[in-house]
């Protein structure tokens, strides 16, 4: 993972965008210095540097509405931080779900969360992770696995064992999500294409 370059700004602060781990909605914007960033990584809770209080401030330290870190990304210039997080309550001090007055709709289902997990495995590979091993093998191996799972699903579709069919369908869908990630796409990209086709 790229390291943030705090020395780019004279005050040592970088903007930090926080995004909902399921819906990808922007929850809030805060600022981090190096200490806030390191505390966030160490404790797994989003911590900012409060410019008004002139100290580190863990989001939720008074309200209990913490932001649990799911993924940390740094932009191409190293001067902006993006954190994908799971909120434990309203993010804004006004009681709103976001600091922009939006309602967070988390009915997008587990697939969105699974995509987030796959992204994390891709960007932060862990030893023993099957998903990470797929990315390490490369696009050809991933595509081949999708083909194998598709064939197995077709075979089960001709049988009468519904559970085996569903298991193969789940395997195919999982590996399809991995393939999308390997190619730099998400389900949202496919959804937009389908929506565009439907409108024709």
Is the domain of 76 the same as that of 148? no
Residue pLDDT, tens place only, 23-46: 889 999 999 999 999 999 999 999
Is the domain of 67 the same as that of 124? no
Where does the pLDDT of residue 200 fall: very low under 50, low under 70, confident under 90, or very high at 90 and above?
low
Question: To 5 degrees, how large is the angle CA 93–CA 67–CA 92?
Answer: 15
The three-state secondary structure class of 179 is: helix
Q: pTM of this prediction?
A: 0.58
Which residues fall within 8 angstroms of residue 158, CB to CB, at 6 or more apart?
Answer: none
Residue pLDDT, tens place only, 58-73: 999 999 999 999 999 9
Residue 126: which domain range? 110-199
Is the pLDDT assigned to residue 158 strictly greater than 60? yes
Is the domain of 81 the same as that of 114? no
What CATH number corresponds to the domain at position 33? Answer: 3.10.20.810
Do the domain assignments include residue 63? yes
Residue pLDDT, tens place only, 2-12: 899 999 889 99
Is the domain of 70 the same as that of 119? no
Is the domain of 75 the same as that of 126? no
């Amino acid at each position: 993972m790229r390291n943030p370059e705090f020395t780019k700004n004279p005050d040592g602060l970088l903007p930090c965008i926080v995004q909902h781990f399921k819906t990808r909605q922007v929850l809030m914007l805060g600022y981090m210095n190096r200490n806030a960033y390191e505390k966030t990584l160490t404790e797994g809770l989003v911590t900012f540097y409060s410019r008004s209080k002139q100290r580190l401030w863990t989001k939720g330290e008074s309200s209990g509405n913490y932001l649990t870190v799911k993924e940390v990304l740094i932009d191409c210039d190293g001067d902006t931080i993006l954190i994908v997080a799971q909120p434990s309550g309203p993010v804004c001090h006004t009681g709103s779900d976001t600091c922009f007055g939006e309602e967070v709709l988390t009915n997008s289902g587990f697939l969105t969360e699974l995509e987030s997990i796959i992204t994390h495995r891709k960007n932060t590979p862990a030893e023993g992770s099957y998903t990470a091993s797929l990315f390490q093998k490369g696009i050809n191996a991933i595509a081949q696995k999708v083909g194998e799972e598709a064939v197995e699903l077709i075979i089960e579709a001709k049988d009468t064992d519904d559970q085996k069919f569903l298991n193969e369908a789940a395997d195919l869908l999982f590996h399809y999500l991995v393939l999308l990630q390997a190619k730099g796409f998400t389900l949202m990209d496919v959804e937009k294409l389908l929506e565009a086709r439907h409108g024709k």
